[in-house]
Chain A
Amino acid sequence: MPTNLASGAEYATVGQRRWVWPGFALPGVLWLILLFLVPFYAVFAIAMGQLDPILQRATPEWNPFYWDLTVIGEAFAELFGGQLGVIALRTLAYVFIASLFCVLVGYPVAYFVSRKAGRWRWLWLLLILAPFWINYLMRMMSWVNLLSPDGQVNRWLTTIAGWFSVAFTPPDWLAGNHVVVILGLVYGYIPFFILPLFAALDRIDEATLEASRDLGASNAQTFWRVTWPLSRNGVLGGLVIIMLPMFGDYYTPNLLSGSPRTRMYGNTIDQYINQTTSGGAVGAALTIILMIFIAGLMVYYLRSINRASQEARE
């Protein structure tokens, strides 16, 4: 009965297909469980774990029934009214100012490359990507060289001052300067902002801009009413990409300053985990607090992306 056989085979393929396509997600799911969920759980287990009596180290408590909320409670108390609050506010200020700079500098660059660079845009993209080829730390260390008391920057400034016979004491850029740390953050993260924004600007259909002009809008009006709304999610996406790592950054202030004045939230986490014996739980608790805060930002981002895609469908 060949027909029956054939239909049987057909059923088999349908049955297989049901698993084949979701099956492709399996490696990714395993990856997420192993390298995201398990470490994530471990952070909670350590923050709410116990102290090893001999080694005096924080040990994870894997059973949530025994979780101890003392440390995380203390960390919250320290955040609202303690030393940590000062550091957290400073970190917020640094990240927001640095992000603002990224937008002010990055938007025109992305706009230029996507709209005006013409046949040279590959070169511009290449130049923007070039810093990626060098490790972040190497780039920061070269800034340390440039900004050191007898570094190139001060040498140029002294030379220029010499031309105009102005008395000039070279500043010590690396002695705990807020501006230097913020500019370090901007410099380090701006390529990550430009690229997604470039992609968003590049997707805007030329026809919509022409339509805007045909309808009598000036260049400025076209930008505000068409380009900006269409690129807004690109800006948000770029901001998410740069702000998340900035909140946890600690090597930029370490390398470019080292002063208590420029200490960031990430430095405190680093200190508890790498310098103290018993402070591992505090480090984990601070990590959780940061994650909660960042999750809030992500929710805002996802909602606005969602709204935009709904508007696009309507």
Chain B
Amino acid sequence: MAYHPRENWSPQLRRRVYTRRDFLHRAALLGIALPALPSLLAACADREGQEGAELAIGTPAKPTQQPLFDDNPAIDSGLEPEDGPLLLYNWEDYMNPETIPLAAEALGVEIQVTTFVNEEEALARLSSGEVQFDVWFPTSQRVPVAVAASLIQPLNHDYLPNLQANVWPQLVDPYYDQGSRYTVPYVTYTTGIGWRTDLADSADIEGQANPWDVFWNEKYSGVIGMLDSFTDVIPVALFHNGVADPSQATEDELVAAGDALVELIDLVDIRYRIDGSYAGLPEGRYAIHQAWSGDLVNSQYFWPGGVDEGTTRYLWPAKSEGSTTKGAISSDTMTVLKGSERPVLAHAFLNYMLDEANALKNFEYVGYQPPQNGLTSEYLISEEWLLPHLAPALVAPEDFELDSAWVQGPLDAATEALWVEQWNRANSGG
């Protein structure tokens, strides 16, 4: 695929090459990691002593507080930050490289970043206890698990004045972690449909009662794709079949969803790609592709020839005129690890990232939107951080409160196996 980062249409826009969301893609490129030596040291988990822990899983309709534990207290107020270096554990390419020296200068310490390509790898290494980091960036879905496994520590808000001052009220008190006991928000995004107005008929998506149905439209055979990620694809098939909450789907509903996906192979020659939206749409390889909103923001840098022709569109079916279906919304977080040796410094770093100017600096590279009160879509467009036709790819604070906003919870092993079984059917081909 041709990466064509655009640099010239606005002086503020800087070159960026990858989004964190192509992690699956790059995970593939990096090779199958044999899950070997690292876990050797961890291993030998107590066979009898393990019991299934109750996870506190919240949804916008039913927010939840994460439990506190006596052996995992927050740090006291009024402490001086420790000496560096501060150790960050983040997704690959999920922070502006320019942010790191700036933060290091502001905090007066050295900052080192270690990256992971997917959360499985991150969880494996953190839970083994063989690695030591201060700050970790989990998705909100992982927060209940991280709390239950005591991987992260509660936050002391005295060190985080920017949380109340700058962050959307909806995410100061988020559904997955009421009262921000363990997390502060990093970026937020929706999962929707990206398309090209010159290659597809917008009327097939906009104004439809169920925009997801477009993936079953024969007209787009060969030029339509979805994300190579079963947790994103199975919900589309469930929404297509009229299931209200994919997290609660029964086995029969999942089989029906699998049937619908198998149908796509012959009907529209479906392809599953991680780079299909941000690179595939600008390059004209696809007319329509399922997309994470942040990737559509990034698509402006991937036009061959370097000029965004203004024909890319994004629609989040949860917030579309006439739509009666739902769409996923999510956010990623910043946390202080329980094993951190520099917890005060880690808090100072979280507060730094919640500053509006610093968040904007990071957005410039990452493309995924920080939930900052000051960074409204009007502001970002007027300041040329984003092309106007991509405005629907921005998340608004109220989006979390929509009845149609669907939040993906963690799947337990048995449910995940059912999902993967259908995904295998959908993905084996004829």
Known contacts A141-B1, A263-B428; A54/B149 CB under 8 A:
yes
Known contacts A56-B145, A149-B285, A259-B271; A83/B123 CB under 8 A:
no
Q: Nearest chain-B residue to A171 (Cβ)?
A: B222
Within 8 A of A (CB), among B75-111: none
Interfacial chain A residues near B429, Cβ < 8 Å: 86, 90, 176, 259-263
Please choose the segment from A189-197, A228-236, A273-281 that sits at the chain B interface, where 4 or more of its residues have CB less than 8 A away.
Answer: A273-281
Q: Is the CB of B420 within 8 A of A86?
A: no
Partner of A260, one of B2, B276, B412, B428: B428
Give the interface SS of chain A, mostly helix, strand, loop or mixed. helix
Interfacial chain A residues near B410, Cβ < 8 Å: 56, 277
Q: Is the CB of A260 within 8 A of B417?
A: no
The reply to whether the CB of B273 lies closer than 8 angstroms to some CB of chain A is: yes
The reply to whether the CB of A150 lies closer than 8 angstroms to some CB of chain B is: yes
Q: Is the CB of B270 within 8 A of A260?
A: yes
The reply to whether the CB of A113 lies closer than 8 angstroms to some CB of chain B is: no
The reply to whether the CB of A25 lies closer than 8 angstroms to some CB of chain B is: no
Q: Is the CB of B35 within 8 A of A273?
A: yes
Q: Is the CB of A59 within 8 A of B39?
A: yes
Interfacial chain B residues near A39, Cβ < 8 Å: 34, 36-37
The reply to whether the CB of B363 lies closer than 8 angstroms to some CB of chain A is: no
Q: Is the CB of B43 within 8 A of A59?
A: yes
Q: Is the CB of A42 within 8 A of B40?
A: yes
Q: Nearest chain-A residue to B221 (Cβ)?
A: A175
| B25 CB → nearest A CB, Å | 8
Known contacts A258-B271, A262-B429; A274/B124 CB under 8 A:
no
CB-CB contacts of B229-271 with A at 8 A, as 1s and 0s? 1110000000000000000000000000000000001000111
Within 8 A of B (CB), among A76-110: 83-84, 86-87, 90
Q: Nearest chain-A residue to B222 (Cβ)?
A: A175
Q: Nearest chain-A residue to B264 (Cβ)?
A: A260
Q: Is the CB of A51 within 8 A of B413?
A: yes
Q: Is the CB of A59 within 8 A of B271?
A: no
Interfacial chain B residues near A46, Cβ < 8 Å: 35, 39
Interfacial chain B residues near A254, Cβ < 8 Å: 25, 28, 228
Q: Nearest chain-A residue to B304 (Cβ)?
A: A150
Known contacts A258-B272, A261-B265; A83/B284 CB under 8 A:
no
The reply to whether the CB of A137 lies closer than 8 angstroms to some CB of chain B is: yes
Interface size on A, residues (CB 8 A): 64
| B60 CB → nearest A CB, Å | 23
Q: Nearest chain-B residue to A259 (Cβ)?
A: B271
**Complex CA–CA separation, A277 to B51 (angstroms):** 18
Interfacial chain A residues near B145, Cβ < 8 Å: 54-56
Q: Nearest chain-B residue to A86 (Cβ)?
A: B428
CB-CB contacts of B33-59 with A at 8 A, as 1s and 0s? 111110110111101001111000000
| A138 CB → nearest B CB, Å | 11
The reply to whether the CB of B29 lies closer than 8 angstroms to some CB of chain A is: yes
Interfacial chain B residues near A60, Cβ < 8 Å: 35, 39-40, 43
**Complex CA–CA separation, A39 to B36 (angstroms):** 5
Interfacial chain B residues near A45, Cβ < 8 Å: 43
| A110 CB → nearest B CB, Å | 29
7 chain-A/chain-B pairs, Cβ below 8 angstroms: A38-B40, A39-B37, A53-B50, A54-B50, A248-B32, A274-B120, A279-B417
Q: A42-B37, A144-B2, A278-B416 are in contact. List 12 more A-B contacts (CB 8 A).
A: A42-B40, A50-B45, A51-B413, A57-B123, A150-B284, A251-B28, A254-B25, A260-B427, A274-B120, A275-B231, A277-B120, A280-B35
8 closest A-B pairs by beta carbon, nearest first, are: A278-B413, A260-B429, A261-B429, A39-B36, A42-B36, A258-B271, A274-B27, A258-B273
User: Which residues of B does A touch, CB under 8 Å?
Assistant: 1-2, 24-25, 27-29, 32-37, 39-40, 42-45, 47, 50-53, 117-118, 120, 123-124, 127, 145, 148-149, 222-223, 225, 228-231, 265, 269-273, 276, 283-285, 410-413, 416-417, 420, 423-430
